[in-house]
Amino acid sequence: MKALHEKEFKNEFTRTFAGDHTGDRTPRQTPGVLYSKAAPTPVPKPEILAWTNDLAADLEISSPSKEDILILAGNKITSEMFPYAACYAGHQFGHWAGQLGDGRAITLGELESKKGVFELQLKGAGPTAYSRRADGRAVLRSSVREYLISEAMHHLGIPTTRALSLVTTGEKILRDMFYNGNPQYEPGAIVTRVAPSFLRFGSFELLAAQRENEKLRQLADWTIARYYPHLTGENKVLSFFQEIVEKTALLMVEWQRVGFVHGVMNTDNMSVLGLTLDYGPFSFLDNYDHNFTPNTTDLPGRRYAFGNQASVAYWNLGKLANTLSLLFEEPEMLEEALASYEEIFWNGYYRMMGKKLGLDKVEKADKDLISEFEKTLSEIQPDMTLFYRLLAGVTAETKEDQIMSHFKEAFYNDLDDSEAMTFKNLILAYSRRLQNISISRENSVTIMNRNNPRIILRNYLLHQAIEELEKGKNDLFVQLQEALKNPYSSEGYESLVTKRPDWASQKPGCSMLSCSS
Cβ(46)–Cβ(169) under 8 Å? yes
Of 268, 286, 298, 383, which one is the catalytic site residue? Answer: 268
pLDDT at residue 1, as a whole number: 40
Please state, in angstroms and rounded to a whole number, the distance separating the CA atoms of residues 149 and 118. 19
pLDDT at residue 387, as a whole number: 98
pLDDT greater than 80 at residue 341 = yes
pLDDT greater than 70 at residue 2 = no
Average pLDDT over residues 19-25: 92
Whether 441 has a binding-site annotation, put simply, is no
pLDDT in tens, 348-389: 999 999 999 999 999 999 999 999 999 999 999 999 999 999
pLDDT in tens, 28-68: 999 989 999 999 999 999 999 999 999 999 999 999 999 99
Whether 115 has a binding-site annotation, put simply, is no
pLDDT greater than 70 at residue 516 = no
Cis peptide before 300 (omega within 30 of 0): yes
Range of weakest confidence among 76-80, 94-98, 147-151, 180-184: 180-184
Domain-wise residue ranges, the chain: 4-198, 202-354, 363-451, 459-504
What is the pTM (predicted TM-score) of this model? 0.96
pLDDT in tens, 392-404: 999 999 999 999 9
Whether 236 has a binding-site annotation, put simply, is no
pLDDT in tens, 475-510: 999 999 999 999 999 999 999 999 999 999 877 777
Please state, in angstroms and rounded to a whole number, the distance separating the CA atoms of residues 366 and 349. 12
Whether 200 has a binding-site annotation, put simply, is yes
Whether 358 has a binding-site annotation, put simply, is no
Whether 101 has a binding-site annotation, put simply, is yes
Q: Cα angle vertex 111, ends 105, 115, to 5°? A: 120
Using alpha carbons, select from 425, 208, 508 the residue that is nearest to residue 516. Answer: 508
pLDDT at residue 513, as a whole number: 77
pLDDT at residue 517, as a whole number: 54
Please state, in angstroms and rounded to a whole number, the distance separating the CA atoms of residues 510 and 517. 15
SS3 330: coil
DSSP for 219-242 reads: HHHHHHHHH-TT--STTHHHHHHH
pLDDT in tens, 260-298: 999 999 999 999 999 999 999 999 999 999 999 999 999
pLDDT at residue 385, as a whole number: 98
Please state, in angstroms and rounded to a whole number, the distance separating the CA atoms of residues 387 and 426. 13
Whether 136 has a binding-site annotation, put simply, is yes
pLDDT band at 181, cuts 50/70/90? Answer: confident
* Alpha helices by DSSP H, 73-123: none
Cβ(170)–Cβ(136) under 8 Å? no
pLDDT greater than 60 at residue 339 = yes
DSSP for 237-304 reads: HHHHHHHHHHHHHHHHHHHHHHTEE-S---GGGBBTT--B---SS-EE-SB--TT---BGGGTTTTTT
How does the average pLDDT of the chain come out, rounded?
95
Whether 109 has a binding-site annotation, put simply, is no
Catalytic status, residue 268:
yes
